[in-house]
């Protein structure tokens, strides 16, 4: 499992050379103004933009912040202070969650409480329609800011193949409105699709991603577009790929648009609407 990235912190020992480069907005040299609390507890002083802090102990070291953030990761599936129970996948794998942490990344559970869902009242949520592995990775991101791609055993069921891990987490990120997770899934998918585009899981991943509305799935669709465009001839030789074209009209339309632009750039495409909505 990954370790949370060390947060950036402004040092009160900022050099004059550094401060001279900070000439715009909040970091304009020679101004004495308060940086908003969500950016930093430090204050810009009149001495050429040097940063001072009303909290000397915090300014002297970042170790407390690192330890503070690591504490959230330690609460991943921990009974300590847990006030929400999630049942993941068809086998109802039990996950110990924390409402305050969940609500930072996703609005799903806030809506459950505001909408007076039965689950919101008893703080037990049955998330049984999706795979436990994908749900667990989504939760790992919520607690740690990243998710592991290695195989894991949760409920006795087989883990997802490499590309499908990212595609299925991507779909969950859209459904649960998890901030920042879709972009992370797209980056991880792109790195592995470079050499896994020949596998059946690539085609299955396309099917998974295209189950999400275009407006919500753009970042992952762009990665799929890049791979398909580079290998369209080889992919079209695969029966599974041709079946997908027959099943998914939206994907088929994107492929036709792609081929026309590649082989007949001067051709008039009706409405000229493709993957990017152009």
Cite the beta strand spans of the chain per DSSP E. 33-34, 43-44, 51-52, 84-88, 93-97, 124-127
Q: DSSP state, 140? A: H
The CA distance from 276 to 269, in Å, is 14
In a domain, 239, yes or no: yes
In a domain, 167, yes or no: no
The CA distance from 117 to 98, in Å, is 18
Question: Residue-wise pLDDT tens for the chain (278 aa)?
Answer: 444 444 443 333 443 444 343 333 332 333 333 333 333 333 334 444 444 444 455 444 567 667 767 788 999 999 999 999 999 999 899 999 999 999 999 999 988 888 777 776 788 999 999 999 999 999 999 999 999 998 888 877 889 999 999 999 999 999 999 999 999 999 999 999 999 999 999 999 999 999 999 999 999 999 999 999 999 999 999 999 999 999 999 999 999 999 888 776 554 544 554 544 44
Strand 84-88 with 124-127, pairing: parallel
In a domain, 218, yes or no: yes
In a domain, 227, yes or no: yes
In a domain, 51, yes or no: yes
Residue 56 sits in which domain range?
16-62
Q: Are 208 and 172 in contact (CB under 8 A)?
A: no
The CA distance from 213 to 29, in Å, is 46
In a domain, 20, yes or no: yes
In a domain, 260, yes or no: yes
Instruction: State both tokens at 261.
Output: 């632009």
Among residues 5, 30, 62, the one where a domain terminates is 62
> Tokens 């991603």 sit at which residue?
209
The tally of domains found in the chain comes to 2
> Tokens 């919520």 sit at which residue?
142
In a domain, 268, yes or no: yes
The CA distance from 165 to 171, in Å, is 10
Beta bridge partners of 106: 178
Closest listed residue to residue 40, CA positions, set 73, 17, 65, 4: 65
* Overall pTM surpassing 0.85 (yes/no): no
């Amino acid at each position: 499992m990954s370790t949370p990235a060390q947060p950036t912190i402004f040092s009160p020992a900022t050099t004059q050379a550094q401060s001279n480069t900070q000439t715009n907005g909040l970091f304009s040299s020679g101004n004495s103004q308060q940086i908003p609390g969500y950016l930093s507890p430090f204050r810009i002083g009149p001495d050429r933009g040097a940063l001072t802090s009303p909290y000397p102990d915090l300014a002297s070291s970042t170790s407390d912040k690192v330890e503070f953030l690591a504490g959230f990761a330690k609460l991943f599936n921990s009974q300590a202070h847990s006030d929400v129970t999630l049942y993941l996948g068809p086998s109802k794998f039990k996950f110990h969650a924390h409402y305050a942490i969940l609500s930072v990344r996703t609005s799903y559970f806030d809506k459950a409480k505001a909408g007076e869902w039965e689950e919101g009242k008893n703080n037990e949520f049955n998330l049984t329609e999706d795979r436990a592995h994908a749900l667990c990775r989504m939760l790992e991101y919520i607690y740690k800011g990243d998710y592991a791609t290695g195989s894991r055993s949760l409920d006795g069921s087989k883990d997802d193949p490499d590309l499908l891990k990212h595609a299925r987490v991507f779909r969950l990120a859209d459904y649960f409105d998890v901030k920042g997770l879709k972009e992370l899934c797209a980056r991880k998918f792109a790195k592995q699709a470079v050499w896994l585009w020949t596998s059946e899981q690539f085609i299955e991943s396309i099917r998974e991603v295209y189950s999400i509305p275009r407006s919500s799935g753009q970042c992952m669709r762009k990665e799929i577009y890049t791979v398909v465009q580079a290998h369209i001839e080889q992919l079209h030789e695969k029966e599974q790929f041709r079946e997908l074209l027959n099943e998914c009209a939206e994907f088929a339309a994107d492929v036709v648009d792609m081929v026309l632009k590649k082989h007949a750039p001067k051709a008039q495409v009706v409405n000229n609407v493709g993957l990017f909505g152009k």
